[in-house]
Amino acid sequence: MAINESSLILAIESSCDETSVAVIENGSIIRSNIVASQIKSHQRFGGVVPEVASRHHVEQISQVLDLALDEAELSIEAVDAIAVTQGPGLVGALLVGITAAKTLAFVHQKPLIGVNHLAGHIYASQLVTPLRFPLIALVVSGGHTELVYMPKDGCFEVIGETQDDAVGEAYDKVGRILDLPYPAGKYLDQLAQEGQDTYSIPRAMIHEENLDFSFSGMKSAVMNLVHNANQRGETVNQADLATSFQSAAVEVLTDKARRALEAHPEVQQFILAGGVAANSGLRGSLTDLLARFPKVELTIPPLSLCGDNAAMIGAAADYLYREGQFSDLAMNAHPGQAIDEPFRS
């Protein structure tokens, strides 16, 4: 298929609990980015219910698609390619987006592009400022915590990762212990602004030279503190516990970011990516850290581009479009797809 010099990409994201469609021009201009959140439906279950997520995606995808094209003031004929999240994510949820993308690609004879969701989180920064290579991205989401080195566009090397829970998952579990609504990250972050760092929470792996993380011990420490207090008939100070947990999580993430930057002095840019990039403590702490690396540009997307959205998928797809890395209509969902996995249809 012919590749145009300028690109208009229609992107679809449905890997978890947001149904989103966007139109992205040249990998960096948001013509539209519609996000329909299902959070209210999952809140009463305290987490995402995969079957409920798939059903909501089916119900919402056509409407979200129409809204995205309307807002971009385009007909589908005007777009150059259809991009869609292939993985990682919930298989049923991914398949709704993939089926929609394949149908549009087939009916309108457009190239089809499969995008890794985590790559999307990193490329969200391209909607703010051009990427400068080599770069390091700290990807922090509900399912992943990784330090990723990118020597060039489309090339990902995982240089550090969590050995157990993702940091977002730890936030959500700790939030649940404190009776905060799902997903608790945002509420725990707000509560953490009000307390003092008084409880002792372990900073696992902080003294280890490697760039790996561990968050399950922090979560267990909070659980034990609450459990022991309950048994003694005492109450914990929720705000202080939130502050103490956030201090530990942010300190570990920031320290491993420092080690990564020291190990790679050639790096031009440091990107914070994923849902937990919305965290006020982490944003502040990385801003302070990067002040010590004046040659490295720090890019943190606005809150609207930290959580799941299709604009980031369209941004990541632009490079694949220019390289002609297209999928065929046999494209499948890859629920466990790693960011550094070679191209698969």
Measure Cα distances from 33 to 69, 86, 147, 198, 235 in Å: 9, 19, 27, 42, 44
Residue from 25, 146, 165, 189 touching ligand KG4 (CB under 6 A): that is 189
With contacts defined by CB under 5 A, name the span among 31-39, 174-182, 245-253, 308-316 that binds Zn ion: 308-316
With contacts defined by CB under 6 A, name the span among 145-153, 179-187, 224-232, 310-318 that binds ligand KG4: 179-187
Query: What character string, x for contact with Zn ion (CB under 5 A) and - otherwise, covers 141-170?
Result: x-----------------------------
Closest to Zn ion by CB, 25 vs 308, is: 308
What's the CA gap between 296 and 293, in Å, rounded? 6
Phi, then psi, of 114 in degrees rounded to 5: -90, 130
With contacts defined by CB under 6 A, name the span among 20-28, 102-110, 137-145, 264-272 that binds ligand KG4: 137-145
For residue 183, say if its preceding peptide bond is cis, omega within 30 degrees of 0: yes
Strands (E), the chain: 8-13, 18-25, 29-37, 81-87, 112-116, 135-140, 145-150, 157-161, 269-273, 297-299
How many residues line the site for ligand KG4 (CB under 6 A)? 19
Interaction of residue 172 with Zn ion, rule CB under 5 A? no
From ligand KG4, Zn ion, none, interface partner of 297 (C-beta below 5 to 8 A by class): none
Polymer length in residues for the chain: 345
Q: Taking each helix axis from N to C terminus, what angle separates 216-231 and 238-263, rounded to the nearest 10 degrees? A: 160
Residue from 18, 172, 189, 308 touching Zn ion (CB under 5 A): that is 308
Decide if 205 contacts 213 (C-beta within 8 A). Answer: yes
With contacts defined by CB under 5 A, name the span among 43-51, 123-131, 133-141, 295-303 that binds Zn ion: 133-141
Shortest Cβ distance from residue 201 to ligand KG4 (Å)?
A: 15
What's the CA gap between 122 and 254, in Å, rounded? 17
Q: Hey, what are 62's tokens?
A: 């056509």
Phi, then psi, of 29 in degrees rounded to 5: -110, 125
Q: Hey, what are 176's tokens?
A: 């649940």
Interaction of residue 92 with ligand KG4, rule CB under 6 A? no
Q: Taking each helix axis from N to C terminus, what angle separates 167-177 and 216-231, rounded to the nearest 10 degrees? A: 10
Residue from 123, 149, 156, 171 touching ligand KG4 (CB under 6 A): that is 171
From ligand KG4, Zn ion, none, interface partner of 254 (C-beta below 5 to 8 A by class): none
Residue from 146, 161, 165, 308 touching ligand KG4 (CB under 6 A): that is 308
Q: Which of residues 7-66 bind ligand KG4 (CB under 6 A)?
A: 16
From ligand KG4, Zn ion, none, interface partner of 87 (C-beta below 5 to 8 A by class): none
By CB under 6 A, name the binding residues for ligand KG4.
16, 141-143, 168, 171-172, 183-186, 189, 274-276, 278-279, 307-308
